[in-house]
Amino acid sequence: MRTMIVRQAANRFALYTSAVVFLAGTSSFLASDASAAETIRITNGEWQPFMSKHSYQFGVNSHIVAEAFKLEGIDVEWGFFPWKRSYQVAKTCQNWHASATWWPAQETLESFLLGDAISETSFVFFHRKDRPFSWQTFDDLYGLVVGTTLEYDYGTDFMNRIENYELNVEWVADDETNFRKLAANRIDVFPNDLTVGLAQIRASLSPDEAASITYHPKEFEKSTLHLIVSKQCDKAEYFVEKFNAGFRKLKESGRFDAMQKDLANGVYDGKGAAQLN
């Protein structure tokens, strides 16, 4: 009798142990499956507050891209490079699938699929307040020193004039250097997107330097910025569809509008005291 009781207890223990092992294995499998989220690898560059490794959530456009994909169950892995390299390494789809965020230039349309427009951009001319400036055509820039940033495209007409030596331009490596040169009276005007320019001024100049700079309201080269996915990628259409679907959800939820308010309030750029009038 005692032997039978011991055997029954042993059998019950064996069943209990097997159940625990099975449940633990199932739990481990589920956890592993849940953690294996799909990932898209996207190159990026410096143009704060839209994109920057130094900005909150890597800039507002980067934030929008990441949140749109997140709503579709896709993680984003970012890689920051100089703009030319950012474009080229994404184009081959060897290690990176996409790049954020670009104008819909003809060259880009030939090699990439574009997601829905994330933001609108245009250029204005920044200048010093004590150097009055007005313009209607690029001919009005004759005799002025124009600051320009390497690897930037300012539009076909503007770039053609540079190539034909019709504009006196000085190239530097980044926008912030151009703003410092403008504040120091070393250039006369500098073209940049208004939102980008104001953010860079707040982040890179002293209050006194920032207060010395204003801009002419006339815009040129209006365009939009897009996530671009290489046509070389097998899942290019899939990634664009997923981004667009997540982007629609982001807008419908009101979070996109909240991000735009944060953009206007300087959340995505460095902090500075001065505002331009």
Low-confidence residues of the chain: pLDDT under 50: 1-35, 271-277
- Conformational region of residue 221, where left means phi above 0, alpha means psi within -120 to 50, and beta covers everything else: left
Task: Measure Cα distances from 250 to 55, 69, 73, 165, 259 in Å.
Answer: 20, 10, 13, 46, 10
State residue 270's pLDDT score.
58
State residue 37's pLDDT score.
76
Domain boundaries, the chain: 38-120+224-264, 122-221
Tens digits of per-residue pLDDT, 73-120?
999 999 999 999 999 999 999 999 999 999 999 999 999 999 999 999
The CA distance from 165 to 172, in Å, is: 17
Pick the CATH number of 38-120+224-264 from 1.25.40.10, 3.40.50.720, 1.10.510.10, 3.40.190.10: 3.40.190.10
State residue 156's pLDDT score.
92
> Among 156, 6, 1, 135, which Cα is nearest to 146's?
135
On the question of a common fold for 38-120+224-264 and 122-221, the answer reads yes
State residue 30's pLDDT score.
36
Q: Cα 105 to chain center, whole Å?
A: 17
Cβ 178 vs Cβ 190: under 8 Å: yes
State residue 5's pLDDT score.
37
Domain 122-221 CATH assignment equals 3.30.1330.40: no
State residue 36's pLDDT score.
56
Residue 215 neighbours by CB under 8 Å, 6+ apart: 124, 125, 126, 127, 194, 197, 276
Q: Which two tokens stand for residue 194?
A: 């208004």
State residue 116's pLDDT score.
98
